[in-house]
Amino acid sequence: MIGRRRVGDDESGDDAGDDLAADEVCVAPIGDELDLHTFLPRDCADVVEEYVRAAHEAGLTTVRIIHGKGTGTLRRIVHGVLERHAAVRGFRLAEGSSGGWGATIAVLHGPGGGSNSS
């Protein structure tokens, strides 16, 4: 998953010599959950597309995408991406204990199945 690191966020607390630009992108391990609450709606389709691709490449077969309940706009965006993504075998709304209609569970093709692109 792609993320951002603030300048000075090192474990020693000493940011001397930290030459990471404030907007530099760093790579973090991919997990089985994506929370879209921190993204602008206009960016969500691209974020979900990239996340599913990375999750599939990492060998994950089930992921949870949290879009919230709200008006349903993000849910429709997420479902639209999942419907056309070649790495997705199927998807459904999450069970109540996993977010209910505020999250979607996507089942991805296993290694060697499906494509890594849409």
53-86 per-position pLDDT tens digit: 999 999 999 999 999 999 999 999 999 999 999 9
Residues 22 and 69 in one domain: no
Quickly tell me which residue has 């490449």 as its tokens: 57
Would you say the pTM of this structure is higher than 0.75?
no
98-114 per-position pLDDT tens digit: 878 899 999 999 877 66
Q: What angle is formed at CA 104 by the lines to CA 56 and CA 115, rounded to 5 degrees?
A: 25
Residues 37 and 20 in one domain: no
**pLDDT for 29 beyond 70:** yes
Residues 46 and 60 in one domain: yes
The pairing of strands 62-66 and 103-108 is antiparallel
Question: Which residues fall within 8 angstroms of residue 40, CB to CB, at 6 or more apart?
Answer: none
Start-to-end C-alpha separation, the chain: 18
Residues 49 and 93 in one domain: yes
The pairing of strands 103-108 and 33-35 is unpaired
Residues 82 and 37 in one domain: yes
- Categorize the per-residue pLDDT at 26 as very low, low, confident or very high, splitting at 50, 70 and 90: low
Residue (of 46, 22, 32, 41) closest to 118 by Cα position: 46
How many domains does the chain contain in total?
Answer: 2
Phi-psi sector, 114: left (phi>0), alpha (psi -120 to 50), beta: left
Domain that holds residue 11: 1-30
What is the structure's pLDDT at 116?
Answer: 46
